Amino acid sequence: MYAISLGEDGAELRPLEPWLAEEFLTHIDRGREFIGQHIALPDRVTDLESSRALLQSYAEKAVAETGRIYGIWADGKLVGGVLFRTMDIEHGNAEAGCWLEPSAAGKGLVTKAARVIIDWAIEERGLHRVEWQVSAANEPSIAVARRLGMTKEGVLRQSYLYRGKRHDIEVWSVLAPEWRAAKQAS
Write out the residues near its own copies by the rule CB under 8 A: 1-4, 14-15, 17-19, 56, 59-60, 62-63, 65, 89-93, 116-117, 120, 124-125, 128-129, 131, 151, 153-161, 166, 171, 173, 175
Residue 88 CB partners (closer than 8 Å, separation 6+): 66, 94
Complex with its own copies: residue 63 or 185, whichever CB lies closer? 63
CB of 106 to its own copies, least distance (A): 25
**Residue 128 beta carbon to its own copies: minimum distance, rounded to whole angstroms:** 7
Name which of 102 and 159 has its Cβ closer to its own copies: 159
Q: Pick between residue 40 and residue 143 the one whose CB is nearest to its own copies.
A: 40
In this complex, which beta carbon is closest to its own copies, that of residue 3 or of residue 48? 3
Q: How far is the CB of 133 from its own copies (least distance, A)?
A: 11
CB of 120 to its own copies, least distance (A): 4
Q: How far apart are the first and last CA of the chain?
A: 31
